[in-house]
Amino acid sequence: MKNQQVAQVLNEIADLLELRGENVFRVGAYREAARQIEALGEPIGEIDQRGDLDKIPHVGASIAGKIHELLQTGHSRYLEQLQRQVPAGLVELMHVPGLGPKRARQLYDQLGVVTVADLKTAVEQHRVCRLPHFGEKSEANIRQAVEQLLQRTRRLLLSEALPMAERAAEHLRRSSPAERVDLAGSLRRFRETIGDLDLLAASRDPEAVLDAFTRLPGVARVDARGETKATVITEEGLQLDLRVVDPSVYGAALQYFTGSKAHNIKLRTWAEQRGLKISEYGVFRADTDERIAGATEEEVYACMGLPWIPPELREDRGELEAARERRLPELVALEQMRGDLQCHTKWSDGQRTIEEMVRAAESLGYEYLAITDHSQALGVAGGLSSERRREQRAEIEAVNRSLPRLRLLVGMEVDIRSDGALDADEEMLAACDVVVASLHSGLGQSREQVTRRVLAAIHHPRVHVLGHPTNRLIGRREGADLDLDAIIHAAAATGTALEINAQPDRLDLNDSHARRAVESGVRLVISTDAHSDTQLRYMRLGVATARRGWVGPLRVLNTRPLHELLAWLYDKRTEASG
DNA sequence: GCCGTTTTCGGCCCGACTGTTTTCAGTCG
């Protein structure tokens, strides 16, 4: 059972407890435990086998026992008992925006509404507005929420949300009196998927900024509008939130609205222990209410004796403790990337010629670019025969002779076959400057099988990089069921690099995996796997993922200058074969 | 149900907005 599924069970227990009107802190305990398990970098089954479940933060004896049962038997008697006590469907009802446990319960008790479909009918028959504490407006809001819920299915990919939010922010900067506009929330932390888009603005005239906001191009409707904040729904059905604060408290507000929730809770708890109170309006002395900071985020953290913490780290995964002990990691930055080690061209399934890719890489200021078209087994992706590969190599060498500033590397993304062998012979591999080995098929294999396969590739003396290690697709496909510890251990032992693939729906390794790899001394590369010139810009997403994984520049091979990279590529091979 | 830089008991972040209510509960982030 995967971490995600365990977390889901705990969340469902929390939902059911909430519907029963249980103590809110008990409910919160289950949610917090679920969150912790989702963020674990390691399969929970392994933690269970070590008997270390209760060492996970916010997992105590009681929840540990329930997780253990779940892992051993595949179900939870406690969950099933709760499910018998609460009508099925009510959980779903509670997830309708605007409904919480109380109102969901009321709809059930008084109208017999159990499912979202029931709710739709009740709303259409105007039965909801006659309930106590509901009215015309509540009913209309619920109607909209239900319609939206039936339409909208998934969280946005970071790559979809970022440009949308950046366009809105840019428009506000130009068309309103806002002194500053920033992205906040999970966008600013570069989470891999985004629910709502949060923006923050500084202005002494919030009225005017909110006016501009509600009139942004693409706004379909205004959901809420107060004196300091507003919510709009775009034509695509996305929720965009804006909060406007006075410039003197902008730093405190930015800190607050960037989150994460868990990071802020811990920071506030620490503040209280120091006799301080932190809110979106600043840092205050608890005894006198005197405000002592708020204009910048640096100030806010400084009041706590902490250095500024990069937003990508603010997930309560040890960053506050690290900050307190002055051991925050230096994080890799986009400007440090000197090249891209995986991309595709028209020779296989890419959309651009080698020259077009080169021009794009030059415009990014890169020193090198590896052309890594697919190997033959990947017929769907136009994999190259050995004959075609010789022709491509000749073209790469010709282009290289005409390039003063950028060095093209001869590479290949070689498929790891279902038996673990590589889809290329020794001669083809030897002719490459850089070999990236990747899984593309047989993802349904057992954990043992697929792990053995990948280990064989990592140990292969010609392989430099393991490409998109799990081969997951966010929101569409779980990755292979890899024993990641074994993979990381082997990568550390052989010196084979692991890739952070920057394709927006891959981001594979993910942040937690990358962090574990780095902790084990593994080298990483961040590659875009670009299939067109514009996709080379996905590097930003890969770097963000690395930063969320506490990855420093020295761990990332493609921050190295060309001569160092070439030396490593060469040494890796000779050491392995010698 | 979890947790501990005074604590193994008594807390648990906190403010904005909405709608329905005349002072607040529910929801959200």
Domain boundaries, chain A: 3-151, 156-245, 249-324, 334-577
Its CATH class, for the domain covering A334-577, is alpha beta
Model pTM above 0.85: no
Q: Give me the CA A24–C1' B27 separation in Å, rounded.
A: 14
Q: Which of residues 300-359 of A touch strand B (CB under 7 A)?
A: 324
Using the CB atom, is residue A84 less than 7 Å from strand B?
A: no
Q: What's the mean pLDDT in A20-49?
A: 87
What is the CA A397 to C1' B4 distance in angstroms? Answer: 65
The whole-number Å distance from A123's CA to B27's C1' is 19
Kindly tell me if the per-residue pLDDT of A14 is higher than 70: yes
Domain boundaries A156-245, CATH class: alpha beta
In terms of average pLDDT, the best of A17-26, A287-296, A380-389, A457-466 is A457-466
Question: Which pLDDT score, from 0 to 100, does residue A404 have?
Answer: 79
What is the DSSP annotation of A143-177? HHHHHHHHH--SPEEHHHHHHHHHHHHHHHHHHS-
pLDDT grade for A382, boundaries at 50, 70 and 90: low
Peptide bond connecting A554 to the previous residue in cis, omega within 30 degrees of 0: no
Proximity of residue A241 CB to strand B below 7 A: yes
Q: How far is the CA of A286 from the C1' of B11 (A)?
A: 18
Q: Please tell me the least confidently modeled range out of A18-27, A67-76, A340-349, A496-505.
A: A18-27
Measure A47 CA to B2 C1' (Å). 19
C-alpha closest to that of A526 among A382, A332, A385? A332
- At residue A205, the pLDDT reads 92
DSSP assigned state of A508: B
Per residue in A245-285, pLDDT (tens digit) is 999 999 999 999 998 988 998 898 888 888 888 888 899 98
Gap between the Cα atoms of A565 and A559, Å rounded:
9
**Rounded mean pLDDT, A490-516:** 95
Nearest nucleotide relative to A106: CA against C1': B26
Residue A253 CA, nucleotide B28 C1', distance (Å): 17
DSSP letter string, A510-567 = -HHHHHHHHHTT--EEEE--BSSSGGGGGHHHHHHHHHHTT--GGGBGGGS-HHHHHH
The confidence score (pLDDT) of residue A288 equals 82
pLDDT band, residue A212 (cuts 50/70/90): very high
Task: Report residue A99 CA to chain centroid gap.
Answer: 27
A213 touches strand B (CB under 7 A): no
- pLDDT higher than threshold 70 for residue A381: no
> Is there a common fold for A156-245 and A334-577?
no
- A364 in Cβ contact with A338 (< 8 Å): no
Q: How confident is the model at residue A578 (pLDDT cuts 50, 70, 90)?
A: very low
- The SS3 assignment for A419 reads coil
Task: Tell me the pLDDT tens digit for each residue of A420-457.
Answer: 999 998 888 999 999 999 998 888 788 889 999 999 99
Q: For B3, which residue's CA is nearest its C1'?
A: A58
Is the CB of A64 within 7 Å of strand B? yes
CA–C1' gap, A278 and B5, in angstroms: 20
The pLDDT of residue A576 is: 54
**Block residue for tokens 């909208």:** A152
CB A240 under 7 Å to nucleic chain B: no
Which nucleotide lies nearest residue A136, CA to C1'? B19
Secondary structure string (H, E, C) spanning A307-350:
CCCCHHHCCCCCHHHHHHCCCCCCCCCHHHCCEECCECCCCCCC
**Is the CB atom of residue A522 positioned under 7 angstroms from any atom of strand B?**
no
Name residue A454's beta-bridge partners. none
Residues 456-485 of A with CB under 7 A from strand B: none
Q: Confidence class of residue A479 from pLDDT cuts 50, 70 and 90?
A: confident
Which pLDDT value is given to residue A560?
Answer: 97
Show the tokens assigned to A544: 């963000």
pLDDT surpasses 70 at A549: yes
Query: Does the CB of A228 sit below 7 A from strand B?
Result: yes
Å from A199 (CA) to B14 (C1')? Answer: 20
* Contact indicator for A520, A502 with CB cutoff of 8 Å: no
Nearest to A36 by CA among A54, A49, A17, A19: A54
A26 φ/ψ angles, rounded to the nearest 5 degrees: -70, -45
CA of A388 to C1' of B3 (A): 64
- Say how far apart CA A268 and CA A278 lie, in whole Å: 6
Measured between its terminal Cα atoms, the distance across chain A in Å is: 41
Of A258 and A378, the one with more pLDDT: A258
Residue A414: strand pairing partners = A437
Percent pLDDT > 70 in chain A is 98
Average pLDDT, chain A: 90
Match domain A249-324 to its CATH number in 3.30.210.10, 3.20.20.140, 3.40.50.920, 4.10.1240.10: 3.30.210.10
Q: Of the candidates A132, A129, A131, which has an alpha carbon nearest to the alpha carbon of residue A141?
A: A129
Q: What are phi and psi of A304, to 5 degrees?
A: -95, 10
- Residue A274 CA to B29 C1' — how many Å? 25
Three-state SS across A32-95?
Answer: HHHHHHHHCCCCHHHHHHCCCHHHCCCCCHHHHHHHHHHHHHCCCHHHHHHHHHCCCCHHHHHC
Give residue A70's pLDDT band: very low, low, confident or very high (50, 70, 90): very high
Q: Predicted confidence band at A36 (pLDDT cuts at 50, 70, 90)?
A: confident
CATH 1.10.150.110 fits A3-151, yes or no: yes
